[in-house]
Amino acid sequence: MFKPAKQNRIYQDVVEQIQEAILEGTLKVGELLPPERKLIEMFGVSRGTLREALRVLQQKGMIEIKTGVTGGSIIKGVTSESFSENLALLIRYKKISLLDLAEFREGIEGTVAALAAERATPEDIKNLKALYEQSFAAFTAGPEQWDTAIRCDEQIHLALARISGNVLFITVLETVYLNIHTYHESYLPMKESVLAENIDDLKVIINAIEAKDAAKAQERARHHVRKFATYMDRKKE
């Protein structure tokens, strides 16, 4: 299965060989890697080098290392978990600039809204309208409930990603919208006029999706993101 590691980059080569075997399916999820002694022989490396390589693979989420008599290195495969965790931390602690976040969201959310207009089921529309009603009710209840209105807004954006059916959009935007509230708390002007615009935009986007008007849904979603990024940037200054 494996060949001796290249001596100029020993542990990296071990990582790459095991990683390739997992990606190609030679090593399947749930299987155990060969015992440590066997791997040392196969790769022609020291115990320390092998363990360093295995730690890297564990950090990538590709294997799980269990100790003890029945332990070993179990194949986990490739998941989005590690990527999502790292992105979540960057967003939660505001390590991504408002500009970068806005540019990213404007492009991707326009596409997501267009796909949602094409793919939404009657049940999806019902769910979007229910979330909108929750946001509207919280907004009209007064300033004490405005934070709830914003959280409902976040759930609407998250629902659109799921309606798109695209696993990449879902994975990334779930991470964004489960953590973006720190930006809203810090930078979004909590003014009645601003939140009223937000409510109006959401209604237009949902109506466009219900009408299966992909072009309008895309344009309004992009305009919505761009406008509120500007509001947040002004408050930051």
Label residue 112 exposed, middle or buried (CB < 10 Å: 0-12, 13-18, 19+). buried
Tokens of 233: 């940037």
CATH of 81-236, one of 3.40.50.300, 3.20.20.80, 1.10.287.70, 1.20.120.530: 1.20.120.530
The CATH-assigned architecture of domain 7-75 is Orthogonal Bundle (1.10)
Domain boundaries, the chain: 7-75, 81-236
Question: In this structure, how many other beta carbons lie within 10 angstroms of the beta carbon of residue 36?
Answer: 14
pLDDT in tens, the chain (237 residues): 677 777 667 888 999 999 889 888 899 988 999 999 999 999 999 999 999 999 988 888 888 998 877 778 999 876 666 667 777 777 877 888 888 888 889 989 999 999 999 999 999 999 999 999 999 999 999 999 999 999 999 999 999 999 999 998 998 898 888 888 888 888 899 999 999 999 999 999 999 999 999 999 999 999 999 999 898 888 776
49-74: buried (b, 16+ CB within 10 Å) or exposed (e) per residue? bbbbbbebbeebbbbeeeeeeeebbe
Can you give the pLDDT at residue 2? 73
